[in-house]
Amino acid sequence: MLVIGVVHLLPLPGSYGWGGDFDAVIERAVKDAKALEKGGVDAIIIENFMDYPFPIRVDYVTVAAATRVVTEVVRSLELSAGVSLLRNSAPEAIAVALASGAKFVRSNQWCWTSDAPEGLLTPVAREGLEVMRRWGAKVGVVADVRVKHAAPISGRDLCDEARDLGGRCRADALAVSGAATGSEADPRQLEVVKTCTPKPVLVASGITPENVVRFASADGVIVGTYFKEGGVTENPVDVHRVRKLVDAAKRLGSGEREEVLRRALGIS
């Protein structure tokens, strides 16, 4: 099972919680990324998690700051890295990835529309693909199915949404999560999504060493909260917790589409 660890950035310039020390943001990001690498994850994804409350789309200040931080993290690691810009800024994340050397992005609302605390999250697939076309290069896209902290308004069933994400919207992989950050996903939802798309499927919230076996059919997991000191999302990464979960996940073996996932996300 592929394990992707999350680097939750300290508040970036322009966000409500911005503390005024950009060097500290970079230092913490690199330190957390190295701890994840030491703990044995297969890749990392860098996210502006602590910028809440989020705009629906980030501004140029966030794009500039994220590009600098991601570039510094990419230079410090042997691992492949991804980018996630909340709330629904996958096109901007793609631009950051292409400029920094990151290999993939995560998109909260690649297809369809959801109601979220930030407002309506509308599809960005066409815009994101256009960024790649204009740059002349591709990065992998992990697209959420019924993303956490949101409710779908399409009226379509889960299978339809999953099928379109990997089909007409051209996502490379799909992610299933719980209702909120750190909440366990529903294993039944994972199985439905896997039957409705040929794309790799990851579980993207609430994974622990104790429950990862319930998601053994997943091709990978994205883990943030469990890897932190005391299991608190805002805390630094605890390398001992990383090793414990990675060991548990690797004992489950490989998912049927894990190699496809690795190629799509540029993970060696």
- Tens digits of residue pLDDT in 11-52: 999 999 999 999 999 999 999 999 999 999 999 999 999 999
- The pLDDT of residue 268 is above 90: no
The answer to whether the beta carbons of residues 230 and 29 sit under 8 Å apart is: no
Separation of alpha carbons 148 and 177, rounded Å: 6
Split at pLDDT 50, 70, 90, the class of 219 is very high
Confidence at residue 83, expressed as pLDDT on a 0 to 100 scale: 98
pLDDT of residue 242: 98
Q: In the chain, how many domains are there?
A: 1
Residue 255 pLDDT > 80, yes or no?
no
Give the pTM: 0.96
CB 228 within 8 A of CB 234: yes
List the CATH number of the domain containing 234.
Answer: 3.20.20.70
Q: What is the pLDDT of residue 19?
A: 95
Average pLDDT of span 103-129? 96
Q: What is the mean predicted confidence (pLDDT) over 213-229?
A: 97
The mean per-residue pLDDT over the stretch 82-90 comes to 98
Residues 100-125: what's their mean pLDDT?
A: 96
What pLDDT, on the 0 to 100 scale, is given for residue 230? Answer: 97
155 has a pLDDT exceeding 80: no
The CA-to-CA distance between both ends of the chain, in Å, stands at: 14
For the residues 233-259, what does the mean pLDDT come to? Answer: 94
Q: What is the reported pLDDT for 227?
A: 98
Over 90: is that where the pLDDT of 182 sits?
no
What is residue 127's predicted lDDT score, i.e. its pLDDT? 98
For residue 187 the two structure tokens come to: 């294993």
> What is the average pLDDT across 181-208?
95
DSSP-derived secondary structure for the chain: -EEEEEEEPPPPTTSTT--S-HHHHHHHHHHHHHHHHHHT-SEEEEE-GGGPSPPSS--HHHHHHHHHHHHHHHHH-SSEEEEE-TTT-HHHHHHHHHHHT--EEEES-SSS-EEETTEEE---HHHHHHHHHHHT---EEEEEES-SS-EE-S---HHHHHHHHHTTT--SEEEE--SSTTPPPPHHHHHHHHHH-SS-EEE-S---TTTGGGGTTSSEEEE-GGGBGGG-TTSPB-HHHHHHHHHHHHTT---TTHHHHHHHTT--
Domain hosting residue 98, numbered range: 2-264
What's the whole-number average pLDDT of the chain? 96
